[in-house]
Each structure stands twice: as structure tokens, then as C-alpha cells.
Amino acid sequence: MVVVAVVAMAAGTVVEKTRGHAIAADVVYGSWWFCIIMALIALCAVGSIIKEKLWKKPPQMVIHAAIAVIIIGGGLTTWTGHQGVMTLMPHEETSVYQTASGQATLPFGVTLDRFEVVNYPGTNAPMDFVSYIMVEDSPYEVSMNHILRHKGYRLYQEDYDDQGGTVLRVNHDPWGIGVTYTGYGLLILGMLWLMIDRKGNFRRLLKPVAVVAVLLFPTVHSMATPNTLPRSTADKMGQMYVLYKGRLCPVQTLAKDFTTKLTGKSTYQGLSSEQVFAGYMFYFDQWCNEPIIKVKGSVLRQQLHLQGKRASYMQLLPLESERQSPHTDKNTRAAIEKGSLVRMLLSGELMKIYPVKDTLQRVEWVSQSDALPLDIDDAEYLYIRKQLGFCQELVIRGQYDSLERVFDKQIAYQKKQAEAVLPSMNQYKAERLYNALTAGKWIAMCSITLGLLCFALTLVFMARGRRLPKPALIVASVYMAVLLAYLVTVFVLRWITGGHIPLAGGYDSMNAMAIVISILALALVRRQPLAVPVGMLTVGFCLLVAMISGSNPPVTPLMPVLSSPLLTLHVSVIMCSYAAFFFVMLTSFGGLIMVRNEAVTERLRRMVVVMLYPAQFLLAIGIIIGAVWANVSWGNYWTWDPKEVWALITFIIYAVPLHKNCRMLAKPSAFHLYCFLAFLSVAITYFGVNLVLGGVHAYN
């Protein structure tokens, strides 16, 4: 029955991708046959308690009971709960809200006093949405991650309109949430009990467990690099503030993203990102013909008559005619986007470096080409319109010292006009240091290479009944410690810079996983022979995936719904579980390689089981925290989103090898093959959902 449920849930994610969430919810997750499958699983859980006499094994009994309670809670939410949407206009009381089946009425009235969008200081990026309402003569605030509970109903901030109105989501679930949360508590209790039980399998196994890549170098170009500013002058330009992607940051950040977007790296032929950026600004006649822009797709490269994989800005101009075409392929769209980035720099649109105050003394950051307030001072108007032109004159004359003084004056002007909204000096310094520290993919490739070598050597020595020589182990451990220190430093710098724990995106989550894996590897270095080699390999792959998926994306303000501390905890715990599953996969891979050595294979099997217990526990905790966060943020603890579904599938798949009576996994070889292939579910959960299946959890 569990296999049928897994197949049905996986099929549901495919239906959602091809037909949409509403169709999937109707024909799969909300269908009568799927409800019967869930009911049968609950009955099987209760039946196992009776058949296996699990009252003699309290932890297992609690876990099986929790499964039944959670399913019952979900059924109660479906059958006794409902949701709707309430639209409020200022100073108009209403108790009516719209549900999927029609109108419904609250047992109380709600009046909107006012609605407010709270922006991040000095920007137009929303930090929160707040509705100030009156309920039965009492004032309340409803905002993202802050709901109103009243008489069994819960009101969530959903949306707003341009007329000052607000849209609240109404949730009424009198039984389901309580029962489901009880099931969550029982599951956590049971799994924790299972791990600390002295007579349990985990404690029994824990005691005896003593417990080919090439580095990439920069390509040497024979052609001369176009002119640009001296490094010191370009660095001075990078110290100015700019409004970029909804936040105030050093121009250095913009320059780094600009260069990385065009070339795939943050440097070009020995030039810093600020020098590349300045080259396009002040020496465009040379840089416009420089083949710097990375172009993907052999068909597109042939269309542009490129000799290699890179094009100049001028070579991309013919693609402008395809900008509005709905049939443009993704490689062409990417090339057009890169060309547009250069054009935005040329027009001055990117350089929003001028803080201007309106009549209410609110600061708006504008570029040289933006419309300026009609009441702006004449001197300030001329300064904004002419300043970059004056910089160009100094560049032509080669007066770089004077140019640096102009940049210094611009920084002073920014501080005078907008000191109240500028990032703190600690944030500013942290961001500049972060930009300087972030490295290319050589760290990832180095970790993968060393990990492969260390992994192979460890298996060879294990086959001979020996451990890796101590000097080699010390060197590998020192490398992991240094790498961990670097990763933690970068993590902390991103935290200080962004003002929030960096765990909300694909790039950040992979870096967090690398940190967790490094800590885990160093903690297990004396007990697990494969801890360090597996750690190096895993960290290398995490960093490589992070760089491929994000290429060091900018630190941007969080969406309001992502500001909850529950999200941070949810992602942290999930990443820890994924890291442990990766350890399981690589250890089982070692077991498959050493399949003819029964002693080593059995030892590796015990190591895998020991790692599976905390991995499953962390995954369960992560799923539960995510459900609570979702319920607090938008009123649903489970929506059958593809990421949720595949996380549940992963939990079910990895629960199988933890059952000692599973006959098909009795042989160590079959056990290792299953655990090796099981990691596909983790890969689909993280990468498949993000890249293919989509959903609200996908990192876009």
C-alpha cells in the first residue's frame, strides 16, 4: 500500500506540472481513491501495532500511532475545515468572505482602519504588509507571519489593492489542525525515543561502529585587454553606494554581478569586476567589440557566426529583433538579457547613485537619466545630470587622481543626503569583504578532487583491515577545518550584509549544507573512516551546484513571508537531513565497491543504519516545522505542493531500510544498492522540483 501511495503522489506532481495545481488537487490528492489509500495506510499503521505487538516496543508504537493520527488530522481538515478570502475597504465593516463553494459569514465584524506597505529603509522594496483592523471594538494588526485568531477563525494577510483596501485569508479548521499537530508531536516523540532507547537498534549499532577531476585554470588569451581604469581608481568607484535590486549596496556588488552575468566569473583576464564595469562605462568603444559575453547553445553561436563560445556586445545586437518574440528559446533570451544589461549601463539606468529628497524629505535614489523632481535645486540638478560626464572627461585626460577625488566627493554627497537610510558601516564593510572573499569554482573542484583521492585510499586500506594513515588523515582534516572556517566566514558576512540569516534561496541553502557537512565530517573523523573523504566530496558538490545555480547572486531583501524565524529553522534542519542522506549514499556506494569483502560491506551497512536514524529524524522535524511555518504564514499546513510531496516520498523511501524485518534488504549488497538509489528521491526533492516540477517552493 505504501508503494501505491508513493507512485500516486509522484504521479500527482507530474499532473501538477502538466495540468496545474487545481487539476492535481482535484483528480489526484482530492480524489476518492487517494483518500482510500491514505485511510488504508492509517489502518495498516494501527494493524502493525496489533500484529507486531508493538506495545512491547513503545517507540515504534508511538511512531505508528502518530502516522494514523496525522492522516486522521488531514482528513478532518478536508471534511470539517474551509478557507476563504475577505476583501476589506477602509472604514467599512463586513463579516462576509468568499469560499470555493460560495459566500460565508464570520460570527463577528471586521473593519479596516488603514493598510500600510512597510518598505526597507531607503528603497521601494516591501518589507512587510500590515492591515490595521477593528474586531468587536478591539484593535488588531494583521501582517505577514502575524495572524489574528478570534473565535475559532484565523485571519491572514493575503493581498492589497491600490485603493487602500486589503485582502485577508480566512481559515476555519476546528478539528484538523489540533489533531494533526498532536500527530506531529507523537512522531517527534517516537523518533526521539527510538534514538535514545538503550534497547533499540540505533543504540545497539552505535556502540560497535568505530565509527577524478582536474583543476580548472584561467585560459590565457593572446589578445590585448581593452583599456580601463587603474585598479585603485576602479576600487574607489566601487566604494560608492548604489540602489541595486531593491537595496542599497556598494557599486562593487553591482560590478561583480555585472561581470559574473556576462562572463560567468567575477574577473576577466586579470581585471577586477570594477575594472570590467568601468571599462564599459568609460571605454565603451573598445569594450563593445570585446568577446567577453558567454553565449550558450551551438545553434545560437552559429547564428551569430561566433568562432568560440563568447560574443561581443556588438555581435549580440542582431538579437534585439527577437526580444518580443514569444518563440524565442532560452539561450537567445539569456543572450538578449546580457546585452540589455550592457545597454542599461550605457544609458545610466543601472547607476542609481544619486539620493534625492522630495518635499516630505523622503529619499529616492535616481540615476543620471531618471526624471527628477520639479522642485529640485538647480545646483543639485546640474550635478546629477553632469557628474558622470565630467568623470568621462577626466578619464579621457588620464587624470585618475582627480577622478578618485570626484568619487570621494560623491560618497560624501551620498552620506549627507541619505545617511539615515544607508546601510550601517558594519554591513557596508561586511559586503565589501564578502565580495572580495567569494572565490570561483576552483575551491569546489579542489574539494571534489581531494575527496575522490581520499575516498579511494580509504576503501583500499579498509579492504586490508586498516585505517587511512594518520598523516594523510591529519592533512585531510586540516583542509576540512580551513574550508569550514572559510564557509562560516562567508556565511556570517552574508548574514551581516543582508540583515537576515542567509537560508532562503538555492545558493544559500547549498552553502549552508556545505557548512553542516563540514562540521559533521570533522565531528566523525575519529569514528567514521569515510567521514572526511565523504565530507570533502559532498562539500565540493554543494559548492559546485551553488555556483552553477546562482553564480554568486546578490544579497537581496527577503520577501515578507520569508522573514519568519521558522523558515530559517526549517531550511537548516532540512539541509542537515539532506547532508546526512548524502553521507548514506556515498557510504553505500563504498559498500557496493567492496561487495566481495563481506566484513567491510557489513561494517559499512551498520554505519549507514546509524546515519539513517538521525537523517530521518531531522527530515521529519524539517517537514513538521515547514508545515507549521506554512500554517502560520498563509493558513495551510499542507497543500500537496511538489516539494512537500517529494519530501514525504523521501521520508517513506528511507523508512524502509530502518525496518529490520524487510526481507528484500537482508543481504548487505541489496541494502547498499537500495540506499544508493534512494538518494534519487532527495535529488528530485531538491533539484527536480526546483528545475522541472516547479511549485511555490521552487527556487526561481
Q: Give per-residue pLDDT as tens, 187-197.
A: 989 888 887 77
Identify whether 552 is part of a domain.
Answer: yes
Does 407 share its domain with 268?
yes
Tell whether 54 is covered by a domain.
no
Residue 552 and residue 577 in one domain: no
Q: Are 411 and 473 in a shared domain?
A: no
Q: Are residues 374 and 384 in the same domain?
A: yes
Q: Are 191 and 620 in contact (CB under 8 A)?
A: yes
Rounded alpha-carbon distances, angstroms, from residue 373 to 120, 203, 358, 359, 364: 22, 71, 7, 9, 10
Containing 115, the helix (H) or strand (E) segment is strand 102-119
Same-domain check for residues 365 and 340: yes
Q: Which residues contact 553 (CB under 8 A, 6 or more apart)?
A: 257, 505, 507
Phi, psi of 205 (to 5 degrees): -80, -25
Q: Give yes or no: residues 546 and 583 share one domain.
A: no
Q: Which of 391, 421, 451 is the last residue of a domain?
A: 421
pLDDT along the chain (700 residues), means of 10: 86 85 85 90 90 86 92 90 90 90 90 84 70 91 86 88 85 90 91 80 58 33 72 94 88 90 85 92 90 85 85 85 63 83 85 84 84 83 88 91 93 89 89 82 79 77 75 86 90 84 71 82 78 80 68 50 67 78 83 80 83 87 87 79 88 87 82 91 79 55
Question: Which residue has 502538466 as its cell numbers?
Answer: 18
C-beta contacts of 392-398 below 8 A and 24+ residues apart: 392/282, 395/229, 395/282, 395/283
Residue 168 and residue 132 in one domain: yes
The answer to the question of residue 24 being in a domain is: no
Contact 272, 235 (CB under 8 A): yes
Answer yes or no: do 284 and 353 share one domain: yes
Q: Considering its fold, how many domains does the chain have in total?
A: 4
122 sits in the region (left: phi over 0; alpha: psi -120 to 50; else beta) called left
| Cα–Cα distance, 203 to 194 (Å, whole number) | 9
32 grid coordinates: 476518492
Position 68 in a domain? no
**61 domain-assigned:** no
- What is residue 216's predicted lDDT score, i.e. its pLDDT? 31
User: Does one domain contain both 554 and 577?
Assistant: no
Domain stops at, among 522, 537, 558: 558
pLDDT digits (tens, 9 = 90+) for 101-112: 888 999 999 999
Residue 97: half-sphere exposure toward Cβ, Cα within 13 Å: 27
The confidence score (pLDDT) of residue 222 equals: 37
Residue 633 domain flag: yes
CA of 700: how far to CAs of 9, 458, 491, in Å?
23, 39, 21
550 and 670, same domain (yes or no) = no
One domain for residues 244 and 336: yes
Q: Which domain range does residue 484 map to?
A: 208-216+441-558
- Give the CATH number for residue 166: 2.60.98
Q: Within a domain: residue 19?
A: no
Please indicate, yes or no, whether residues 247 and 387 belong to a single structural domain of this protein.
Answer: yes
Whether 33 is covered by a domain: the verdict is no
pTM of the model: 0.63
